[in-house]
Chain A
């Protein structure tokens, strides 16, 4: 029984990280109908920026509340800038081209970032993995029995941050002027433009928000799993993307549910069957979900106009 609870906790912890990354995917897709494959790699860049910031702050300062906030904010700001640049120079010129062109460009950016960061320039990148400093001093939040169930403070903090970000996003999309503009652009960006909505600006800001979210997710991920390396974004990004699709891409709570589902399935497959089946079973379940509900768990069926 205690093992079951521990598995549950582990699954929720990894699902939370997928969820945070999936939020960015879903948001950009919602507005642009573009699968931003570079999202995971933007996250990686954010982690490196956070890593550098943590070292600039030094050992004492980085574990204070302000230090942690500074790490998050600097990384998020840097990623927002990168998101802006990517959108401006790689995606915007292709906006009226076939969607496949933009998709291939996204894959190109993804590889350019993940392999570019393996080059040795300056003190920061480089191929070898490094350890993210312990910015949240790990303490046990809850211990049951003879350490049979352990919940750590950062697991709780991550979950709270993820939930808060989700609520915040939902509010932004459905309760603000900017959110209405986003939804209008999502519906039809040409018509939205004719109605006086600054389409370019809305899309750029959406990208910046998505990238900032990726940076936040990345730092929580690095706090959880320690290792920082240039290829870290590829695989996690892929899983988050799958989670977003299962939840119904473009749908914020859907991404969250899909991600938690993926994290839990993976965890229990390993815990109760063989670990090498993890991906096969997890993705098999996801295929089943999509077979019976192609629009995803929370997605809406978009009627095609003929």
Chain B
């Protein structure tokens, strides 16, 4: 009996695994990564899309699990909303649209796998995603090689679109965000001494920090201390103690919300009163949950503010609220814009060949997005202003718009 038990267990496991595989095969929208552990997120939660001939398939890769899961979920919601609206308007060239969403667990290698799968197996027309620049770069190499247009809604690192002529974005780029915050710190907050705490594991944080340091110094400010951390750390007291002794008037922390919330908490715990400054990676309801009152009063640059009164924005917010029950964050707004830019390009394109869709996207000009009017430049980056918001007690308050 002692010998049989492990075999019995192994056999049961094998059967379970086999059953799992079969189920995955029967529903093509499942199992993005092949790990078998992560839940596969089905297309739009509806029945499997009909045969390929009357459906145009888009692909999306996002972090639905892992450290930045709220990014992926917002993005998926935004894309879904855009696709449902387009289908309600009659689809594209008489065909309905569908989206296949794969989870990359916030990991670049998984993002690359998911992109390959979308290209070779699902044969999607456009790939949407990711949020984190590191993951988008991993995907962009695959998309460019295969000649499939890719639009990242919210990756702001410069390198992403530099990978090739099939890679686009509907947001501004890091140099601009770094510039916005440097200008805001220098002119609006009238500071002269700033410290930087950067995340060495993310291209995004490195990009913003470099530009901030460069521009802030150029405008006559002084960077008094630079420290770094690695994504996922939870103890920042050593870095903050070092920053504290340099007595900065503002601290630039262009990280992601999950780290920033804790950094803010520990900064206040050490008695640091200077405001923290950041970028769009702060955008999440989790910022308050993790940071508590410690984050209140800090500033970050962002793509849009839900307080914008224009009907375009307010209609989007109403539709989103109806579908998902919450106010859309920037990532949802950008994902919605990205999907709509893609759909618009397909409508205008003479055919649904990859090349024609690519050219259609490249010609985007004065497109009325909810997160600002989008014009793509010859480097396939969107030219648009940024807003600076201040973290309030329960939501962010609009403070200033800073134009390129």
Contacts and interface: CB of A to CB of B under 8 A. Distances in A.
10 contacts: A10-B241, A11-B238, A118-B69, A127-B66, A150-B269, A227-B290, A231-B67, A266-B238, A267-B238, A270-B238
Interface stretch (B146-154, B225-233, B304-312, B384-392): B225-233
Interface string A139-162: 000000001101010000000000
B123 interface: no
A226 B265 contact: yes
B45 to A, nearest CB: 13
Complex A-B, nearest 6 residue pairs according to Cβ-Cβ distance, in ascending order? A147-B271, A270-B238, A225-B234, A127-B69, A127-B65, A10-B237
Given A10-B241, A118-B69, A225-B235, 20 more contacts: A10-B237, A13-B237, A14-B237, A111-B37, A115-B35, A118-B38, A118-B65, A119-B65, A127-B66, A128-B258, A131-B261, A150-B271, A226-B234, A227-B258, A267-B237, A270-B227, A270-B238, A271-B238, A274-B227, A275-B239
B286 interface: yes
Contacts of A59: none
B241 A271 contact: yes
Contacts of A232: 234
Nearest to A270: B238
A150 B228 CA distance: 22
Contacts of A226: 234, 261-262, 265, 290
Contacts of A299: none
Contact of A129 (B35, B37, B286): B286
A152 B66 contact: no
A274 B67 contact: no
Nearest to A116: B37
Given A10-B241, A129-B258, A274 B289 contact: no
Contacts of A229: 67, 258
A232 B241 CA distance: 23
B235 A14 contact: yes
A13 B270 CA distance: 14
Interface string A223-261: 011110101100100000000000000000000000000
A152 B70 CA distance: 32
B200 interface: yes
A93 interface: yes
Interface of A: 3, 6-7, 10-11, 13-14, 89, 93-94, 111-112, 115-116, 118-120, 126-131, 138, 147-148, 150, 152, 224-227, 229, 231-232, 235, 266-267, 270-271, 274-276, 278
A11 B235 CA distance: 10
A183 to B, nearest CB: 26
Nearest to B3: A93
Contacts of B67: 127, 129, 229, 231
B39 interface: yes
Contacts of B38: 115, 118
Most A CB within 10 A of own CB, among B70, B237, B244: B237
A144 B66 CA distance: 40
B47 interface: no
B69 A227 contact: no
A130 B289 contact: yes
B244 to A, nearest CB: 8
B397 to A, nearest CB: 22
Given A226-B265, A235-B232, A129 B290 contact: yes
A270 B269 contact: no
Contacts of B261: 131, 226-227
Nearest to A130: B289
Given A3-B245, A275-B228, A128 B235 contact: no
Contacts of A275: 227-229, 238-239, 242
Nearest to B286: A128
A148 B200 CA distance: 28
A244 B82 CA distance: 53
A120 B270 CA distance: 36
Contacts of B269: 138, 150, 152
Nearest to A114: B37
B232 A231 contact: yes
Contacts of B292: 131
A276 B290 contact: no
B317 interface: no
Interface in B2-50: 2, 5-6, 9, 35, 37-39
Interface in B251-300: 258, 261-262, 265, 269-271, 286, 289-290, 292
Contacts of B39: 119-120
Contacts of A271: 238, 241-242
A118 B66 contact: yes
A94 B5 CA distance: 11
Contacts of B65: 115, 118-119, 127
Contacts of A147: 270-271
